[in-house]
Structure 1
Amino acid sequence: MNFLIICTAALMLVFPAFSVNASSGKGQQPHARAFELPGHDAIGKPGVGSSFDRTIEISIRETESGYMLFEPDAIQIEKGSVVRFLIGNTGALDHEFFLGSFDEIAKHQQWMREHPDMQHDRANSVSIPRGQNAELIWEFSDMMNLEFVCLIPGHREAGMWGVIIVHDHLAPKSKG
């Protein structure tokens, strides 16, 4: 019993944004709200309640050979844009769309391996049950490269990841 208390206290020190509902195992996850925490990579902010500049449709599917894919898996977005992602899961499995920095996702992927039943319920992620659709609205305020992934254990390894490149608006070149 004392070992459990010590381990829980240690986790709280390492992951202060984490709290667990002991009866269900669900709660806040480390890194899921990293965009709000000092010292973490700034990845923008939720665009809920904002009008959006662009809608990007993303399809999720699995292949017969076992790959799990986001289509498209590479997206360019102009800095300052508010984007509405419409994510459709046409696959046979439940998936998620988790947006974050490469570093935060690597850390969170390890956490998910250790806690495979954890569910995300945060502004930078949505769960998409098979055959259903979900929406995520995000404001991209800085130039950066981000990743979107499915962190259900084994899914990223099967190909469920993509890249978002946030760039400055480039004026068209003048002819001359």
Structure 2
Amino acid sequence: MKKLHALTLAALVAVSSAAVAHGDEEHAKPRKFDPSKVEATDWGQEGNPKKITRTIEVDMADNMRFTPSDLTIKRGETVKFVVHNGGQVLHEMVLGTKKALAEHAALMKKFPDMEHSEPSMAHVKPGKNGEIVWQFTQPGEFQFACLQPGHFEAGMVGKLTVK
């Protein structure tokens, strides 16, 4: 029975890892905007690149910090984030609520090779740039974070205020 459980667990982990392998890859390939696939979240929705109202440059570094780390956005703005990784390891910028990011970080810790690609995130290799185009439809306090294993826990989190 123990052997069956071990085999079942190994199969589930293998399938989960294969389905969501993250690795060292750069997932921030240019997305083709499709309005029919835009999904609303508590922190906004994928933005139309033709309706960008502002561009914000954000740097990520191996000291586990974002620069700037505190951003204020106007409700309704469509922002293009140009995210630069000035470090030597893979970093990412993921937008979300404090709760959603904490849950995602816990999942990344459990499955460190998890692949995920959403409009609200950019995975960026060292020395490269990534982009997020996001429309902020809801007011509130939100965050952006690097969810690579250990980075979130080391404080690689920024504050996003939508007014």
TM-score (norm 1): 0.72
Is contact 1:50–1:82 with CA below 8 Å preserved after alignment?
no
TM-score (norm 2): 0.77
Q: Which has the higher contact order (CA 8 A, sep 6+)?
A: 2
Q: Which deviations, in whole Å up to 9, do the C-alpha atoms of 1:129-172 show, x marking residues without a partner?
A: 001000100000110111100011111122211010000xxxxx
Q: Which has the larger radius of gyration?
A: 1
Gapped regions of structure 2 (runs ≥ 5)? 23-37
1:56 aligns with 56
Q: Which runs of 4+ in 1 moved over 6 A?
A: none
How far is the alpha carbon of 1:26 from its aligned partner? 3.4
In 1, Cα distance between equivalents of 2:54 and 2:162: 13
1:1-176 equivalences in 2 (<5 Å): 1=4, 4=8, 22=15, 25-27=18-20, 36=39, 42-62=42-62, 67-167=63-163
In 2, Cα distance between equivalents of 1:117 and 1:131: 21
Gapped regions of structure 1 (runs ≥ 5)? 9-19, 30-34, 168-176
Higher helix proportion: 2
Aligned positions, number? 143
Amino acid at match of 1:46: E
